[in-house]
Amino acid sequence: MRAFALDRAGSSVEALGLGGASVSADAHVRSPVQYLAGGTTLFDLMKLQVMHPERLVDISGLRAEHGRIADLEDGLWLGALVRMSEAESNPSVARDYPAIRDALWQAASPQLRNMATLGGNVLQRTRCNYFRDISYHACNKRDPGTGCAAMEGCNRRLAVLGTSTACIANYPGDFAIALVALGAEVNLLSVDGRERVLPFEDLHRLPGETPHIETNLARGDLITGFTVPAGAWTRRSRYVKVRDRASYDFALASAAVALDLDGDTVRAVRIGLGGIAAKPWRAHQAEAMLVGRRLDEASARDAAEIALAGAVPHGEAAFKIELGRRTLVRALLETRTMELPA
C-alpha cells in the first residue's frame, strides 16, 4: 500500500470541501481523493495497488447525519452510513422489504456486514482477476486503452449482459440488485452543496468504450442515502443467489423479484438480475411480458428467455446464460408462493 494522507470530516460540508479539493476531473474511482466509510472494499484495492488515492476523507463520523433508517409515508429511507448488518436486522426492512434483507445477509460474512456501509457497498468494484491483479497489463477498467485480458482468459465468473468489446467484467454486489429491482433512488450531495436524486438504475454505467468510468457520480459527490418506494409488491419480494459455495461467495447468478398478485395473475412485477451483468440489471421487458399473465413455470420460463435474450457468451462464462434463466425462474416461483410477513 502506498502512503496517503487521512482527513476526518466532522460534517457533510467539511467532507464535500475535502472531497472536491482535487483538481482532477477524472472518473470518481480514479480520483486522487476518496471517501472512506467502512473501507472493506477500498482498503483491499489499495493493498492490491489497483487504487492508490493520495488522500482519504474519513466520513464515518457523519453517522448522525447519514446513518439512520426511517419509514416514510411513501417508502423507506436507508442512510448511506447505515451498516449492512443494521439494515438486515431492521424490523421494517425485514417485514416490508424482504428482498433487501435477503440480499444483505447473503452478501458477506458477519464481520464484514458489521463494518461495511450501504453507500460503500453499492460502489464495490468487480472481482475480475485481471482487474485485481496488476501483473496483468491488459485491463481497460484499471488502465484505459490496454485491452481486456479476460476476453480470452479465465472468465467463468464474468458478465454476459451489458458487456462491450472493451470489457466483460461483472458487477459483484447483492444489495444493489434488490435496490434496482425495487425502483430505488439514490440521494447525493454535490461539492457545491446541491442535493441531487438519481434513479438507482442510473447510478452505474455500462462499460461501452470507457469501462474505467463506472458510475455517473461527479468528482466529490457524496452518497447520503437511498429511498425505496413503497408498493403493493414490496412485501412479496425475494432475493435468490446462486454461488459456488453457500458459506460466503459472490453470485454466479442472482435475481431479486417483487410481485403484486391477484390470485396467480401478475398485477405488477419488478425484476433485478445480478452476477451475470456489467451493472445492476433491471429486466424491464420481462416484467412487461408477465403483467396480466398467470405466473406458472411456463410464463416464468418465457420471462427468463426475454430477460437473457441480449446475453453474449464469452468462453467459460457461456454457462451463465442458462444459469441466469434458471435462477430467475426459481426466484419468480419462490416469490409467488412465499408466506408474507405478519
The answer to whether 142 and 136 are in contact (CB under 8 A) is: no
Neighbour-count burial of 268, counting CB atoms closer than 10 A to its CB (0-12 exposed, 13-18 middle, 19+ buried): middle
The answer to whether 172 and 158 are in contact (CB under 8 A) is: no
- Give residue-wise pLDDT tens across range 120-163: 999 999 999 999 999 999 999 999 999 999 999 999 999 999 99
Alpha-helical segments (H) within the chain? 12-19, 42-47, 63-66, 84-89, 91-96, 98-105, 110-115, 118-122, 129-132, 175-181, 284-290, 297-307, 319-337
Instruction: Provide the percentage of residues in the chain whose pLDDT is more than 70.
Output: 98
Q: Residue 4 corresponds to which cell in the numbers above?
A: 496517503
Average pLDDT over residues 38-43: 92
Residue range(s) defining the domain that contains residue 142: 64-342
- Looking at residue 250, its pLDDT comes to 96
Determine, yes or no, domain membership for 341: yes
- Give residue-wise pLDDT tens across range 126-137: 999 999 999 999
- Looking at residue 27, its pLDDT comes to 67
Determine, yes or no, domain membership for 48: no
- Give residue-wise pLDDT tens across range 181-205: 999 999 999 988 899 999 999 999 9
Average pLDDT over residues 31-37: 92
Whole-number Cα distances in Å, 258 to 183, 263, 269, 296: 11, 15, 6, 15
DSSP lists the bridge partners of residue 138 as none
C-alpha 244/C-alpha 256 separation (Å) is 19
Instruction: Let me know the angle formed at the C-alpha of 301 by 299 and 307, rounded to the nearest 5 degrees.
Output: 105
Model confidence at 223: pLDDT above 60: yes
Determine, yes or no, domain membership for 35: no
Determine, yes or no, domain membership for 242: yes
- Give residue-wise pLDDT tens across range 324-341: 999 999 999 999 999 887
At CB < 8 A and 24+ separation, what contacts does 282-288 make?
282/180, 282/181, 282/201, 283/307, 283/328, 285/309, 286/328
How would you label 234-260 residue by residue, b for 16+ Cβ within 10 Å and e otherwise?
bbbbbbbbbbeeeeeebbbbbbbbbbb
CATH code of the domain containing 338: 3.30.390.50
- Looking at residue 30, its pLDDT comes to 82
Determine, yes or no, domain membership for 287: yes
Average pLDDT over residues 86-90: 97
Q: With bands split at pLDDT 50, 70 and 90, how would you rate the model's confidence at 25?
A: low
- Looking at residue 228, its pLDDT comes to 98
Average pLDDT over residues 231-236: 95
Q: Residue 131 corresponds to which cell in the numbers above?
A: 482487474
Determine, yes or no, domain membership for 49: no
C-alpha 311/C-alpha 320 separation (Å) is 9
Neighbour-count burial of 60, counting CB atoms closer than 10 A to its CB (0-12 exposed, 13-18 middle, 19+ buried): middle
- Looking at residue 177, its pLDDT comes to 98
Q: Residue 310 corresponds to which cell in the numbers above?
A: 441480449
Candidates 61, 63, 53, 68; CA nearest to 2 is 53
Whole-number Cα distances in Å, 271 to 78, 121, 222, 268: 20, 20, 27, 10
DSSP-derived secondary structure letter, 18: H
DSSP-derived secondary structure letter, 184: -
Give the number of other Cβ atoms within 10 Å of residue 28's Cβ. Answer: 21
Name which of 5-14, 18-27, 82-91 the model is least confident about: 18-27
Determine, yes or no, domain membership for 58: no
Average pLDDT over residues 271-285: 98
**pTM reported for the whole predicted model:** 0.96
Q: Residue 145 corresponds to which cell in the numbers above?
A: 486503452
Number of domains in the chain: 1
Q: Residue 150 corresponds to which cell in the numbers above?
A: 479476460
Order the strands of the 5-8 sheet from edge to edge: 5-8, 55-58, 33-36
- Give residue-wise pLDDT tens across range 58-82: 999 999 999 999 999 999 999 999 9
Determine, yes or no, domain membership for 295: yes
Model confidence at 20: pLDDT above 80: no
Candidates 137, 135, 133, 169; CA nearest to 151 is 169
The answer to whether 269 and 244 are in contact (CB under 8 A) is: no
Phi and psi at 4, nearest 5°, equal -150, 160
